[in-house]
Amino acid sequence: MKEALMAYEAGEWNAMRRPQGEAEHPTFRNAPGEVLEVVYQKLAEQTYAHFCD
């Protein structure tokens, strides 16, 4: 999530988006497997960085 927010803030959000198919208003896929593996590892280690107040 942090990486997505940082990309959005830097104006690089569209580079991260992967459409599921051709459509006027496409839906987007979840993160690819290799990204999810890193996320799961960070969650298991409790090292997943996030924004908070």
E strand spans, 1-53: none
pLDDT of residue 50: 65
> What DSSP designation does 28 have?
B
* pLDDT over 90, % of the chain: 0
21, pLDDT greater than 80: no
- d(CA 18, CA 35) in angstroms, rounded, equals 13
pLDDT of residue 52: 54
Average pLDDT, the chain: 76
pLDDT in tens, 35-53: 788 888 888 888 877 655 4
